[in-house]
Amino acid sequence: MSTREVDVVVIGSGVAGLSTAIRMARQGLAVVVATKGERGATATAWAQGGVAAVVDASGDSIGLHAADTLKAGAGLCDEVAVSILVEEGPRRVAELIELGADFDREADGALALAREGGHSAARVLHAGGAATGVEVQRTLEAGAEAAGVRILERHAGLTVEIGERGVEGVVLQGQGSQVHLSTEHVVLATGGAGQLYSVTTNPTGATGDGIAVALRAGAAIADVEFVQFHPTALDVDLAPRPLLSEALRGHGALLRDAAGERFVDELAPRDVVARAIVEAGAKTGARHAWLDVTVLDDFAKRFPSLDQTLKGIGLDPATDWLPVAPAAHHLAGGVLVDLNGATTIDGLWAVGETADAGVHGANRLASNSLLEGLVFGARVAEAIGGGGRGPLPTGALGALLGDGGQIGVRRLPPMLPASTVPRGTVREDRGMPGDDIAAVQQAMTAGAGVVRQPDEMARALDVVGALKVSGPPRSILDAERDSIVLVAEAVLRGALARAESRGGHFRVDFPRTEPSFECRLVQQVGS
């Protein structure tokens, strides 16, 4: 295994990883970005609706954006983190435009702004209609190249080495070989974990690796029971499922049940719409609802990429109602970080969807996650560039969530690492990773989906627990399997512990919000 020394290793090449890397490289740091597949294989590139930011204050304000974000987060957002997101957002978007991002504009040259569900004003910038992510990814890849960022494709960051003073290095798994990088800073920017579920809008690499790496390194995670299901993924036999952007409902598309009747306010929060679709299906036995876009004018002109996708599948948006069902879309929780992306371990940072800075609370407001990557990427870069190593010399959890914190914290009992679980209760030999992943996905879909039942959650935890293995991974797929098993366990433990319904977490046995659960559930692997 070869060893090299670099200032910072960023794991992941989406909006969070690249915007962090560009800023650090501009500060003169030697930065390597390791990414599991090709550099453009990211959720960022698939983003449709856009980036929310108050770039035009007529009829809108930073305060309104903050209020909408807090409302979606259902009492669990960190208000300081939200202020940072909405206040620093417009500056970061302006920088992205300076870097070359070509957002859609009105005839008079002003930025075209859309309104999405949960937003009280039109503040969502978009590009190519609903192809925003392609433009953001393109711009950042070009920016990274110009800034001299080295990108290692097909190298998965799976193990971070921790010494007495924090991070010492990282091992990257390539195809058939490993690379060891000696560094004092590792930034986890590995995106989401939609692949925990059978039905998801996320790319295949969204296996929760950053959360698993952080847990194995001893860092704390939080709020992972809050999975956002997008209500309108196209219900066709494709994995991942094509997403039908919220922007369609924003422009007037209607949801209809099996009888063709409307049954929900199309612009209600995502969790409300997703549950309404599941409940409507339970009544009629239909597996999906219908999105009626025939009522929209100029569909092909306004949403050219979606028009192309639909026609490729044999659906004509001018005449056909589109079958839609909820799909796992975004993880609100993740690696617990402070306002600069520092985790509870010195030198280990996290940013973007893999991190939990407290901006989303129990549910994410649409189009706030590209913004999160831009805003907190810049903060991580500034903190590392400024000589930061962690929230405190000790990296103490208490400093992140201590008495000064606005929201209470409950720590769940430690998770057991596979290596310490009594012999005979975990497998020592690996089976086929694909089979194990499918078993977890089915268990999670039944147990920790849009509507959660206690017995199904407990059953899913049994399935997941039986899939723990003690041996090291032999391939990237093995490692993804291990991430999926570990993160699924954390999601289920959180969902079982949270005896209430709030945001993206809905339990049939506790259908109401319970004030005593106005707290963040923190988890760590015990020794």
Which residues sit at the interface with ligand FAD, rule CB under 6 A? 11-17, 34-37, 41-44, 46-51, 132-133, 156-158, 189-192, 201-202, 205-206, 209, 243, 330, 352-354, 367-370, 373
Compare residues 205 and 323 and give the one whose CB is closer to ligand FAD: 205
Q: Which of 87, 321, 337 is nearest to 219 (CA)?
A: 337
CA–CA gap between residue 511 and residue 361 (Å, rounded):
18
Active site residue 270: yes
Name which of 326 and 373 has its Cβ closer to ligand FAD.
Answer: 373
d(CA 137, CA 131): 11
Residue pair 386/26 in contact by the 8 Å Cβ criterion: no
Residue 13 Cα distances to 137, 154, 190, 216, angstroms: 9, 11, 8, 22
Closest approach, Cβ 499 to ligand FAD, in A, equals: 28
Catalytic residue among 23, 115, 270, 498: 270
Write out the two tokens for 102: 């070509």
Going through 102-257 in order, the beta strands assigned E by DSSP cover: 113-114, 124-125, 150-152, 156-163, 166-173, 178-182, 185-188, 221-222, 227-234, 254-256
Residue 456 has a CB neighbour count (10 Å cut-off) of 19
Based on CB atoms, which residue is closest to ligand FAD, 183 or 367?
367
Minimum distance from CB of 34 to ligand FAD (Å)?
A: 5
Q: What is the smallest separation between the CB atom of 268 and ligand FAD, expressed in angstroms?
A: 18
CA angle, residues 182, 187, 192, in degrees to nearest 5:
135
Tell me the closest approach of the beta carbon of residue 220 to ligand FAD, in angstroms. Answer: 19
- Tokens representing residue 403 in the block: 């008495």
Which residue has its beta carbon closest to ligand FAD? 14
Residue placing its CB nearer to ligand FAD in the complex, 354 or 523: 354
Burial class (CB in 10 A: 0-12, 13-18, 19+), 416: middle
Provide the 10 A C-beta neighbour count for residue 419.
Answer: 12
Q: Which is nearer to ligand FAD, 239 or 458 (CB)?
A: 239
Nearest distance from C-beta of residue 124 to ligand FAD, angstroms = 8
Which sequence positions are flagged as catalytic? Answer: 270
